[in-house]
Structure 1
């Protein structure tokens, strides 16, 4: 086994942790790991001596870094079911605890879905639940191993650690495998080696409250301690810093008795600086826990804010109405699955903020501490929920996991001022995992979870989405409303929402929108609406996501174009501005994500409802949200990824501009087409639309938009095709872009006369032979070897590795096409 090292920064002073207390000597163990996909015959196989190349070296381990997912690529591989089973990780730790008589801890920020931990051959801990944080104390096992001969000889003073993760299907676990997302396996969040004194804080709870007008803030600080040696006494020192870093209070207390949740300090802050999306002011609480064995140091953030869901009315924050403008997030990204780095998570949340959100639902499980910290600092209100999602209700083991995960989520994210709602479930009206679907039992357990949540945290609300027979139990309810996608048409949105609003005391609409195949556009996107039955509600029903059978619905019969989804979003957003009773909504979701339930989508195994692709590539819908939700001047001409438009010669075509500016002037081929004033009631594009007659061939379009004295511009070009096409007859591959060692290869479909088929939706499959590699299994429109055409074309990237390759593309009923990547077509 290769020698491994502890890397990443050692946190030498205060660490902001999101309430799972982490002390002053914490190391992220990211490098030096080996991984084996599959199972071992026993723990001895992970640690037994073996020379490379010998029979005993089998099975072969691969070198990986953490975070790491089993399913980084196979989750979106179009030809396989994603792997669900065991996998092993191993490393050797150099351990040097600076605290005499101190503790050695392994702190997992998340591992899926069942995990066992070994020090050498000793099993030191296990955990069930793929989304919460947990800790294993390995002190005694390390000391025992150090007494063996292997410690000083074969392992040269290092400690072998092996971890088994398992995401096998299990009906007695949450979430259900019927859920519309992957249940990933692996150590997919960061793993920390923590050195602690004999007494340390396991959790620090900071409750910050204020009155409606923010005149007086109350701070209540408590802690739960890790005291395995029963020292049972310590001295705590606490300092309070305001958002500018100024010390405004301190306290010292000697504790005699460390069991349970121990009160530390209650204090008041006069006229606190309030936390809000516009001013996310954060106070800092520094805590030192001192014993004879050393001092552990912690830092927690807190924010003072007052929120209220007005009965039969809107949402108020700090006494003023705030329309919640939200979206959703799954832990999922191209090339890594759920094993996202801090940098990737930060990029994602900054993109959401750039789009204009002030609210997010974290679906459908507890998410990374990094995300919650970013929500605090960026000013994003949070609904976070446990993964009781679909399938029904299991037995005692099932229910105990749900209770434990709810407790962990609340206690570990208790301090975050961004959190306003604890979610208890999602689509719990969806049967299938068990022979019996007992609504009364589900109601009973939902009530139990609701009571548990309020006991653990009386300051937040509870909520569920889509389980009408439990809607009276929780504080806030979201019904299923998918106007214009699964049922109905999007112009029914306000009417349906008002009807559902009247049924509950506190209404919040989470999950709306629809799928869009990135880079696909339409000249007549709303044509499908004439076939849809109206007046029967807009709820999603079991089977509606299927692409086959049932009544006409946009989700099955629509064109899945960006053009249609932009119209749907545009209508929803302009209506939300005229609903004074509305608490808010959350679009589902921000980013496309993988799911085992959608193998036949245009990008196989991908839910394509995001406003950005799985690799952060923005779709056109991103700019529709910006035009309603942001203040910094922006203007975006629809169709940046629409290279060819079509129609008759002399036919008028609509050009839309999404902008938050007061007015905009459009230029087509250098000629002004007039100035339009923005009016959010004027659908589509808030009145910023022009009917123009494109010239056959190339057209250049530019907009100049003005907001006060500020001016912004945008431009696009497109080719206008008037020739009519017949059925697809041939394909042609070309190199569209070449950058360093990577080439973008595009395929276009033509009829027998060589006319581009701009509405072709054939599935095509790319293959490669030679020295290069297809950059596929990304789950994006440009990163899947099997993909449905968008406007008769598709692209994929190839890394040449400095050599020669031949790429091919095939489609049913059309001759296969080839391209030598040195440029010679065959």
Structure 2
């Protein structure tokens, strides 16, 4: 049993709270309270949930995930297995005549619930809510009840998702509530639904019809005559109401058609007019309210057109927005409601009008916010990359689709139900064509079953399958024909192809699938906010390439009326444990960082989408600049200003630099920064009323180091890298490599390290580097380097050399989404050994033996420089080729 320490809890306070909340009469409405505190958690297997171990528990508060940290460390993989939660709950004696439920917002991914050692329910699926009726197992009295919950996030072949480019965090990661109802109440035992469905069969500017149907449950000993009343309120004023009478049996259905609402306020992104429908069960004999639910109601009508795009309330509306993953920096997916709400607000503040809730249903607060803010939405179940051809897998998919629809169909913001994301990404049975064709038929058959289910459950909304860019395959298998609309996840100019290929693909769809509405459901490029490039190229992860990418994509979509929607991937960076790359375990295609700091791409969309005046200086979030100065000691940098105004002016340190007309919301200036703090000021709008100011510190590095007499700047350089990398502390910039020039600094000899698979980045590696948070510093290198020379003046210096072996004997892992990778091969690694000399003195011998693959190693070396000898670092090969990943030079005195 649990120790006495674990059994002791402030549960009596919960009991008192329940007494105060519960109305005095027996015929009260439902009571809902949170049950998020006072939990104990234990990771690992427990044989008997009725006899819990005494040790190994930690205090936690829900929402909670056990994968907050192990998904971010240097060890491959993360814990996927059992996690156990327990707490005590005291229920007041006044609840003996009630039905008592536990309401879970979400637990990943298979959950079993025990009360007082008795199993009271279970749920399969990590992303939909579920209710557990615990009435029969509740013990009333001061001893209380032992509640135990087992959650398992291990891979289970019959439970989607099977694989995906996101992390499958474990835990009870959404809130849990205790709900007490009267014996007669709206049904709560079917798919976690609300028990009622509200539709608007006819909507126009002149009238709005409201239809309510639902099911109520009577768990009492006798049938009762009840009245079910539906009332429509607008800003707390009653605008329509009616009721129906029925005999409440064990399970009873009802339908209500309310009097039409005249001249309804229409719901739209520009004016999200919301009504409220209150549905109430009233005892027909006593007049006592038994249960009541409030639901949002939006009067709107919409359609997707294959030629002209999307129409809302009869008017064309280009849908532009983003997808959302639910995790957040340092808290995994255990995101409090206020942060989930903030995400939707950030999308609205960007000017977006569409949210793809991907790749799974999310917290109800997300769609509540979409309703309130005027964001249209699609929601989907997590069938990602592939299926398993088993009856159990299909049954789980169908169950998840039903849960998703029934739990979310009351939201006016939802216009599309989705399933099967990129399900043919890397199909199995590559060497058995007949077996592969059988697999394709089974995929199509499951898609058709999901389609039929969805249209039966909710004929008022559209259906969609998002596909990756293999048009011919999806069309041949039939997945472009089964749903009502087609989504395409397109990455031309990123994972494969060229940027121009994006527009070509859109036109191909329009030619060959001219009767099928098109949504671009994903597009994006990795943007690491710390990386900048004067010459951006595909896969360099620079802010500048990301901007170019989004400029091309947005223009192509806006120029084509038949493109109904453009949905950027993703609103914010998110966790993907199996990724390496510059920011390990993070997919950084977000318009915001994982901590929700805006990137320049976010400002770009604000400049193009917002209707209110907008002006923002974009320097990629940098507060510190460094680089080679010109002959006057000035650091020349490109500055972008994002604005929807016709003319933008930029000032530097009080002096006007220029004024420009923004092109696609972007005005680009050349600015010369002096050492120290510099003030940028942008002006726009009538009378220059719109302003934005940006203070940045600059540290120009003189081209002629030997001419420096005082204030020698720190010199940091990444070898084999043409980009700038700024550490997050903001005051340390790693410069791109350059060949040595007399009087300056740079490398002599060698070549940039390049991955064998050259369809991707033309330099460096995409593998995570262990033992460092500065992965970009170690992911590039110069191979076969002969010397590094810095013509520094005399003095005492600290030299730091950084090494990481980028080759290994084993094959590289090819990730499913990286369709541009042709193979998993690596360059053959035969080992290396070399010495390092500084100004002719050997300081490191036999470097190489201690270098293991993707492991950061650095050496600090004090150096005295005399007269005009400068600093000459020589690399002497003994076996294989020499390497250098990065170098730092700091003057001590």
- TM-score, normalising length from structure 2? 0.74
Bigger CA drift: 430-439 or 460-469? 430-439
- In structure 1, the residue matched to 2:597 is 617
- In structure 1, the residue matched to 2:375 is 380
Q: Does the 8 Å CA contact 1:35/1:62 hold for their aligned counterparts?
A: yes
- The CA deviation string for residues 164-191 of structure 1, in whole angstroms up to 9 with x for no partner, is 0001111111111x21112221111111
SS, match of residue 619 in structure 2: coil
Of 213, 236, 245, which aligns to 1:222? 213
CA 308–187 in structure 1, closer or farther in 2 if over 3 Å, else same: same
Q: Does the 8 Å CA contact 1:13/1:297 hold for their aligned counterparts?
A: no
Give how far 1:577 is off. 3.1
| Residue 713 in structure 1 maps to residue 692 in structure 2 | yes
| Residue 689 in structure 1 maps to residue 668 in structure 2 | yes
Of 568, 572, 586, which aligns to 1:591? 572
- In structure 1, the residue matched to 2:264 is 272
SS, match of residue 87 in structure 1: strand
Of 248, 251, 255, which aligns to 1:263? 255
Bigger CA drift: 438-447 or 3-12? 3-12
Q: How does 1:147-226 map to 2 (within 5 A)?
A: 156-176=142-162, 178-202=163-187, 203-209=194-200, 213-226=204-217
CA 664–761 in structure 1, closer or farther in 2 if over 3 Å, else same: farther
Of 485, 491, 515, which aligns to 2:494? 485
SS, match of residue 391 in structure 1: coil
Q: Does the 8 Å CA contact 1:391/1:434 hold for their aligned counterparts?
A: no
Give how far 1:571 is off. 2.6
**Rg (Cα) greater in structure:** 2
Give how far 1:627 is off. 0.6
CA distance in 2, matches of 1:761, 1:247: 72
Give how far 1:107 is off. 1.0
CA distance in 2, matches of 1:389, 1:636: 38
| Residue 390 in structure 1 maps to residue 374 in structure 2 | no
Q: Does the 8 Å CA contact 1:383/1:422 hold for their aligned counterparts?
A: yes
Give how far 1:311 is off. 2.9
- In structure 2, the residue matched to 1:515 is 526
CA distance in 1, matches of 2:802, 2:255: 68
Bigger CA drift: 660-669 or 452-461? 660-669
CA distance in 2, matches of 1:256, 1:62: 50
Q: Does the 8 Å CA contact 2:66/2:171 hold for their aligned counterparts?
A: yes
Of 360, 364, 369, which aligns to 1:369? 364
Give how far 1:647 is off. 5.2
Of 628, 631, 639, which aligns to 1:655? 639
Q: Does the 8 Å CA contact 1:640/1:716 hold for their aligned counterparts?
A: no
SS, match of residue 479 in structure 1: strand
Q: Does the 8 Å CA contact 1:394/1:434 hold for their aligned counterparts?
A: no
Q: Does the 8 Å CA contact 1:112/1:187 hold for their aligned counterparts?
A: yes
CA 744–520 in structure 1, closer or farther in 2 if over 3 Å, else same: closer
CA 621–118 in structure 1, closer or farther in 2 if over 3 Å, else same: same
CA distance in 1, matches of 2:779, 2:316: 47
- In structure 2, the residue matched to 1:766 is none
- In structure 2, the residue matched to 1:672 is 656
- In structure 2, the residue matched to 1:53 is none
- In structure 1, the residue matched to 2:764 is none
SS, match of residue 253 in structure 1: strand
- The CA deviation string for residues 233-254 of structure 1, in whole angstroms up to 9 with x for no partner, is 4523435344322111222322
CA 103–607 in structure 1, closer or farther in 2 if over 3 Å, else same: same
| Residue 304 in structure 1 maps to residue 299 in structure 2 | yes
CA distance in 2, matches of 1:25, 1:708: 57
Q: Does the 8 Å CA contact 1:327/1:588 hold for their aligned counterparts?
A: yes
| Residue 321 in structure 1 maps to residue 294 in structure 2 | no
- The CA deviation string for residues 195-231 of structure 1, in whole angstroms up to 9 with x for no partner, is 1111211224343326574322111111122334475
Q: CA RMSD in A?
A: 3.7
Give how far 1:677 is off. 2.5
CA 133–698 in structure 1, closer or farther in 2 if over 3 Å, else same: closer
Q: Does the 8 Å CA contact 1:704/1:712 hold for their aligned counterparts?
A: yes
CA distance in 1, matches of 2:682, 2:746: 29
SS, match of residue 570 in structure 1: helix
CA 423–792 in structure 1, closer or farther in 2 if over 3 Å, else same: closer
- Name stretches of at least 5 consecutive residues in structure 2 with no aligned partner: 1-5, 23-27, 188-193, 468-473, 705-714, 720-725, 754-767, 781-799, 805-855, 862-891
- In structure 1, the residue matched to 2:723 is none
CA distance in 1, matches of 2:717, 2:648: 40
SS, match of residue 76 in structure 1: coil
Bigger CA drift: 299-308 or 78-87? 78-87
CA distance in 1, matches of 2:197, 2:687: 44
| Residue 57 in structure 1 maps to residue 41 in structure 2 | no
CA distance in 1, matches of 2:406, 2:19: 23
- In structure 1, the residue matched to 2:74 is 78
CA distance in 2, matches of 1:785, 1:290: 64
Q: Does the 8 Å CA contact 2:451/2:482 hold for their aligned counterparts?
A: yes
CA 809–404 in structure 1, closer or farther in 2 if over 3 Å, else same: farther
CA 212–647 in structure 1, closer or farther in 2 if over 3 Å, else same: farther
CA distance in 2, matches of 1:496, 1:593: 27
- TM-score, normalising length from structure 1? 0.79
CA distance in 2, matches of 1:330, 1:33: 26
Q: Does the 8 Å CA contact 2:591/2:601 hold for their aligned counterparts?
A: yes
Bigger CA drift: 418-427 or 222-231? 222-231
- In structure 2, the residue matched to 1:496 is 505
| Residue 35 in structure 1 maps to residue 41 in structure 2 | yes
| Residue 574 in structure 1 maps to residue 555 in structure 2 | yes
- In structure 1, the residue matched to 2:98 is 102
CA 11–712 in structure 1, closer or farther in 2 if over 3 Å, else same: farther
- In structure 1, the residue matched to 2:335 is 340
- In structure 1, the residue matched to 2:406 is 411
Q: Does the 8 Å CA contact 2:572/2:593 hold for their aligned counterparts?
A: yes
- In structure 1, the residue matched to 2:444 is 443
Of 104, 121, 127, which aligns to 1:125? 121
Of 762, 766, 788, which aligns to 2:775? 788
Of 704, 723, 739, which aligns to 2:683? 704
CA distance in 2, matches of 1:761, 1:95: 69
Q: Does the 8 Å CA contact 2:630/2:703 hold for their aligned counterparts?
A: no
Give how far 1:698 is off. 6.2
Of 218, 225, 243, which aligns to 1:252? 243
Bigger CA drift: 488-497 or 329-338? 488-497
CA distance in 2, matches of 1:481, 1:460: 24
Q: How many residues in Structure 1 have an aligned counterpart in Structure 2?
A: 714
Give how far 1:791 is off. 12
- The CA deviation string for residues 16-58 of structure 1, in whole angstroms up to 9 with x for no partner, is xxxxxx9631011011100001111211332xxxxxxxxx633
SS, match of residue 658 in structure 1: strand
- In structure 2, the residue matched to 1:773 is none
CA distance in 1, matches of 2:509, 2:673: 45
CA distance in 2, matches of 1:405, 1:464: 15
Give how far 1:269 is off. 1.4
- In structure 2, the residue matched to 1:602 is 582
Q: Does the 8 Å CA contact 1:236/1:252 hold for their aligned counterparts?
A: yes
CA distance in 2, matches of 1:281, 1:208: 16
Q: Does the 8 Å CA contact 2:532/2:544 hold for their aligned counterparts?
A: yes
- Name stretches of at least 5 consecutive residues in structure 1 with no aligned partner: 15-21, 47-55, 147-151, 529-553, 730-735, 738-742, 763-780, 794-807, 819-824
CA distance in 1, matches of 2:445, 2:612: 48
- In structure 2, the residue matched to 1:401 is 396
CA distance in 2, matches of 1:279, 1:474: 30
CA 708–218 in structure 1, closer or farther in 2 if over 3 Å, else same: farther
Give how far 1:263 is off. 1.6
Give how far 1:693 is off. 5.1
CA 815–429 in structure 1, closer or farther in 2 if over 3 Å, else same: closer
Q: How does 1:705-784 map to 2 (within 5 A)?
A: 705-706=684-685, 710-719=689-698, 720-721=700-701, 723=703
Q: How does 1:350-369 map to 2 (within 5 A)?
A: 350-369=345-364
Q: Does the 8 Å CA contact 2:80/2:170 hold for their aligned counterparts?
A: yes
CA distance in 1, matches of 2:772, 2:169: 22
Q: Which has the higher contact order (CA 8 A, sep 6+)?
A: 1
CA 755–354 in structure 1, closer or farther in 2 if over 3 Å, else same: farther
